[in-house]
């Protein structure tokens, strides 16, 4: 019997998951476009390109791309400083091409050097931010745009002050009822969802969205005071026809290609979008139930292709986005079919049913994001990092705090700095042990020996008394910096003048063996 291709074998999981992701992505695309000072539809275009183009090109099975909050400041400043939005689109295209070139230089490998404590800290921080920023939406406050991750908000408040302010000044019964019931259902569905039968494929978030629409329509009929106003509903631009819809797309003005500002903006977008995408993809690999690993170089190429297409048709720059990707995971997606389909659903829905989409309460979507936030920042994550020791816990907590109190990119940079400090500090721990029985000494490398271990090695060898028999054991070191071989060579040469017999153990190849220059008659290589 012929085995089904993976993208067909999991359609029953991927199709409903793709619908959930599309519903979550819609207000995020619109909110980020609004915050960026760009046409609202440009956010939808970026979401479509992120789904279809990046989905096809990427090898990530669960990552979902679209316009990202981390780029809003850069995009807003660029649009304001350029002659036109069409000129800005040239920078988006250039940024995409640069990302594709980054992939050819295998720059994606840099993501593998990010400490896991920073990655999990980023996930936990985004979870906390989702909780803190979605509670205001759940109670009826909409002063800040959907998808915001920055501490300071456009409404003059911040992540912490917006919470009590919204409860004190904007608490509205209708949104609160919908959000509360939806949230309770989502947690109940986690445990009650059947393991067998077709119902197991029904994602809770999709039920919540349908419930929210029905409840609000009932409010309008039964109790108008509870009905949710237009400002607290999804607000997709409605086209008068196919021609009007097509007119919302834009093309780059390549006449500005010679402007230095266009090139510097393109480079900035390429670097920042690449960093955010690589970290997001690595984070999504962490929460993938199947623990698959994404080809990071291919991901850069995919992101570049997505940005190139988005720029060519009038969209914002895009990255891999943790919020949408997490929604994809929680909705039960298995393959990238979900990502690709979500792009098609975005396109078809804004073309065919924008009026229906505009019936969705933001409170229902807030409940979904609150549920995702809880999953990302659950207590077990903090407990496990604590158990791993301070060298894991401190960078983790610093990353969480830095992202929460600044924004995603600044917080990640701070987390990376602290994480690397602890990595370096760990490498300063004793790497060499010395044991002896009378005049017999065993000097062992516990792990790889790098440049920073020179002093330790030299100190250990210099303390060995005259007349000793010394075995230098390097079997546990897969790598020994040449500078350390220089110290070993110097010790071995001096050994004959101190009546010391030296032998060196290690699995040396021809190349490594050539680095050992000690006198052969006095040194035995084992």
State mean pLDDT over 163-168.
Answer: 92
Whether 240 has a pLDDT exceeding 90, the answer reads: no
Kindly state whether residue 1 falls inside one of the protein's structural domains.
no
Q: How confident is the model at residue 255 (pLDDT cuts 50, 70, 90)?
A: very high
Kindly state whether residue 427 falls inside one of the protein's structural domains.
no
Tell me what the pLDDT averaged over the chain comes to: 89
Task: List Cβ neighbours of 202 (8 Å cut-off, separation of 6 or more).
Answer: 16, 193
Q: How confident is the model at residue 5 (pLDDT cuts 50, 70, 90)?
A: low
Q: How confident is the model at residue 520 (pLDDT cuts 50, 70, 90)?
A: very low
Whether 291 has a pLDDT exceeding 90, the answer reads: no
Q: How confident is the model at residue 366 (pLDDT cuts 50, 70, 90)?
A: very high
Count how many domains the chain has. 2
Same domain, yes or no: 73 and 152: yes
Using an 8 Å Cβ cutoff, are 345 and 209 in contact?
no
What is the reported pLDDT for 490? 84
Q: Kindly report the CATH number assigned to the domain that includes residue 500.
A: 3.30.750.24
Same domain, yes or no: 232 and 369: yes
Kindly state whether residue 336 falls inside one of the protein's structural domains.
yes
Report pLDDT digits (tens) over 118-158.
999 999 999 999 999 999 999 998 888 887 888 988 888 99
Q: Name the least confident of 63-67, 265-269, 372-376, 493-497.
A: 493-497
The fraction of the chain above a pLDDT of 90, given in percent, is 56
State mean pLDDT over 256-261.
Answer: 94
What is the reported pLDDT for 508? 54
Residue that is last in its domain, among 418, 446, 465: 418
Angle formed at CA 466 by CA 462 and CA 468, multiple of 5 degrees: 95
Report pLDDT digits (tens) over 385-421.
898 888 889 999 999 999 999 888 899 999 999 988 8
Same domain, yes or no: 367 and 234: yes
Same domain, yes or no: 338 and 477: no
Q: How confident is the model at residue 507 (pLDDT cuts 50, 70, 90)?
A: low
What is the reported pLDDT for 58? 96
Same domain, yes or no: 335 and 387: yes
Kindly state whether residue 378 falls inside one of the protein's structural domains.
yes
Name the pTM for this structure.
Answer: 0.81
Q: How confident is the model at residue 514 (pLDDT cuts 50, 70, 90)?
A: low
Kindly state whether residue 423 falls inside one of the protein's structural domains.
no
Q: How confident is the model at residue 516 (pLDDT cuts 50, 70, 90)?
A: low
Whether 458 has a pLDDT exceeding 70, the answer reads: yes
Same domain, yes or no: 58 and 194: yes
Tokens 């054991």, located at residue: 473
Question: Where are the extended beta strands (E) located within 17-69?
Answer: 65-66
State mean pLDDT over 156-163.
Answer: 90
Q: Name the least confident of 87-101, 149-163, 246-260.
A: 149-163
In terms of residue numbers, what domain contains 459? 432-525
- For 513, counting Cβ atoms within 10 Å of its Cβ (0-12 exposed, 13-18 middle, 19+ buried), the class is exposed
Whether 61 has a pLDDT exceeding 50, the answer reads: yes
Same domain, yes or no: 337 and 455: no
What is the reported pLDDT for 510? 44
As a whole number of angstroms, the distance between CA 209 and CA 309 comes to: 31
Q: What is the DSSP pairing of strand 65-66 with strand 469-473?
A: unpaired
Q: How confident is the model at residue 216 (pLDDT cuts 50, 70, 90)?
A: very high
Same domain, yes or no: 120 and 267: yes
What is the reported pLDDT for 456? 84
Report pLDDT digits (tens) over 172-205.
999 999 999 999 999 999 888 888 778 888 888 9
Residue that is last in its domain, among 418, 447, 471: 418
Kindly state whether residue 13 falls inside one of the protein's structural domains.
yes
Same domain, yes or no: 162 and 288: yes
Same domain, yes or no: 51 and 123: yes
CA distances, 433 to each of 62, 400, 446, 466, 497 (Å): 45, 37, 7, 19, 24
- For 122, counting Cβ atoms within 10 Å of its Cβ (0-12 exposed, 13-18 middle, 19+ buried), the class is buried
| Edge-to-edge strand ranges of the sheet holding 469-473 | 432-437, 440-445, 469-473, 501-505, 523-525
Closest residue by Cα to residue 307 from 81, 478, 53 = 53
Kindly state whether residue 2 falls inside one of the protein's structural domains.
no
Using an 8 Å Cβ cutoff, are 325 and 280 in contact?
yes
Same domain, yes or no: 396 and 491: no
Same domain, yes or no: 55 and 137: yes
What is the reported pLDDT for 6? 65
């Amino acid at each position: 019997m012929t085995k089904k291709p993976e993208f067909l074998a999991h359609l029953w999981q991927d199709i409903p998951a793709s619908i959930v992701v599309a519903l979550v992505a819609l207000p995020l695309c619109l909110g980020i476009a609004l915050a960026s000072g760009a046409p609202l539809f440009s956010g939808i275009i970026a979401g479509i390109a992120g789904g279809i183009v990046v989905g096809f090109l990427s090898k990530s099975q669960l990552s979902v791309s679209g316009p990202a909050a981390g780029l809003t400041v850069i995009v807003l400043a660029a649009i304001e400083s350029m002659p036109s939005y069409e000129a800005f689109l040239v920078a988006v295209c250039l940024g995409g091409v640069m990302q594709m070139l980054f992939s050819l230089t295998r720059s994606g490998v840099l993501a593998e050097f990010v400490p896991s404590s920073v990655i999990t800290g980023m996930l936990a921080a985004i979870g906390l931010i989702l909780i803190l920023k979605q509670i205001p939406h759940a109670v009826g406050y909409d002063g800040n745009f959907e998808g915001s991750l920055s501490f300071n908000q456009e409404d003059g408040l911040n992540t912490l002050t917006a919470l009590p302010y919204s409860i004190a000044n904007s608490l509205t019964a209708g949104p609160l009822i919908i959000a509360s019931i939806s949230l309770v259902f989502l947690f109940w569905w986690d445990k009650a969802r059947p393991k067998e039968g077709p119902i197991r494929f029904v994602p809770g978030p999709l039920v919540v969205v349908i419930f929210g629409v029905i409840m609000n329509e009932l409010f309008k009929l039964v109790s108008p005071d509870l009905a949710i106003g237009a400002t607290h509903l999804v607000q997709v631009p409605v086209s008068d026809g196919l021609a009007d819809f097509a007119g919302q797309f834009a093309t780059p003005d390549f006449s500005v290609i010679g402007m230095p500002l266009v090139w510097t903006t393109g480079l900035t977008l390429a670097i920042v979008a690449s960093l955010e995408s690589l970290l997001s993809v690595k984070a999504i690999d962490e929460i993938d139930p199947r623990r698959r690993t994404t080809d990071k170089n291919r991901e850069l190429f995919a992101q570049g292709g997505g940005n190139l297409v988005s720029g060519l048709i009038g969209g914002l720059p895009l990255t891999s986005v943790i919020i949408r990707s997490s929604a994809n995971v929680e909705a039960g997606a298995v393959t990238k079919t979900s990502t690709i389909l979500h792009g098609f659903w975005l396109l078809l829905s804004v073309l065919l049913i924008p009026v229906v989409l505009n019936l969705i309460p933001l409170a229902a979507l807030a409940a979904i994001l609150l549920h995702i936030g809880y999953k990302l920042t659950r207590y077990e994550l903090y407990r496990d990092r604590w158990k791993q020791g301070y060298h894991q816990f401190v960078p983790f907590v610093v990353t969480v705090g830095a992202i929460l109190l600044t924004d995603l990119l600044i917080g990640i940079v701070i987390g990376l700095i602290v994480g690397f400090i602890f990595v370096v500090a760990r490498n300063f721990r004793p790497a060499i042990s010395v044991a002896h029985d009378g005049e017999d000494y065993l000097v062992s490398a516990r792990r790889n020996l790098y440049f920073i271990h020179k002093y330790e090695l030299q100190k250990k060898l210099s303390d060995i008394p005259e007349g000793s028999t010394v075995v230098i054991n390097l079997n546990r070191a897969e790598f020994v910096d040449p500078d350390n071989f220089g110290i070993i060579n110097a010790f071995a040469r001096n050994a004959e003048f101190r009546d010391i017999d030296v032998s060196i153990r290690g699995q040396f190849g021809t190349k490594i063996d050539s680095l050992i220059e000690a006198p052969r008659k006095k040194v035995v290589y084992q």
